[in-house]
Amino acid sequence: MASINQIQDQIIEEFGVFDRWMEKYEYIIDLAKKMPLIDEQYKHDRYLVPGCQSRVWLHAELAGDKVSLTADSDAIITKGIIALLIRVLSDQPVEQISQADLYFIDAIGLKEHLSPTRSNGLVNMVAKIKSTADTLKRHH
């Protein structure tokens, strides 16, 4: 199993092949389309990530000492962004998720190419994943 940083490095490398942001957006949309669907039972308000312009549902469960994440969004770019976050953080140990430095976001230029509302949404998605991991750790 690759570590959080190894996965981030892979993502940075993948985005490095694109010269233009339009190509990066297309890649993000492609990731959204390939993302496994979240179970319909989790597409309810209690799974919504607060502070996102579009609706983002996030479900996390503990499998041993690792957190398994699934998500969905009604906006394709947002769904692609959450797909990247899940790729980096899902199936990782709880402690590593809550302490992760997600440097890939700045390294691929994601934050600077998002609208302020999407950028805030990204910050909120990261915060929700980390707080959910912490909650799972406390309850097990």
* CA–CA distance, 60 with 9 (Å, rounded to integer): 24
Give this prediction's pTM.
0.94
Alpha-carbon distances of 31 from 15, 60, 97, 116, rounded to whole Å? 12, 20, 21, 22
- The two most distant CA atoms of the chain are separated, in Å, by 45
Question: CA torsion sign, 96 to 98 to 101 to 102?
Answer: positive
Element containing residue 55 per DSSP (H, E): none
pLDDT score, position 10: 98
Q: Where are the alpha helices (DSSP H) in the chain?
A: 4-16, 21-34, 76-89, 94-99, 104-107, 116-138
pLDDT score, position 93: 95
pLDDT score, position 111: 85
Domain 4-138 has CATH 1.10.10.10: no
79 in active site: no
Q: Which of 32, 38, 52, 56 is catalytic?
A: 52
From first to last of its 140 residues, what are the pLDDT tens digits of the chain?
A: 799 999 999 999 999 999 999 999 999 999 999 998 899 999 999 999 988 789 999 999 998 889 999 999 999 999 999 999 999 999 999 999 989 999 999 999 998 888 888 888 899 999 999 999 999 888 76
pLDDT score, position 15: 97
pLDDT score, position 78: 93
**Dihedral angle, C-alpha 20, 80, 130, 8, nearest 10 °:** -50
| Residue 14: other Cβ atoms inside 10 A | 15
pLDDT score, position 20: 94
pLDDT score, position 70: 95
Alpha-carbon distances of 109 from 21, 77, 112, rounded to whole Å? 9, 15, 6
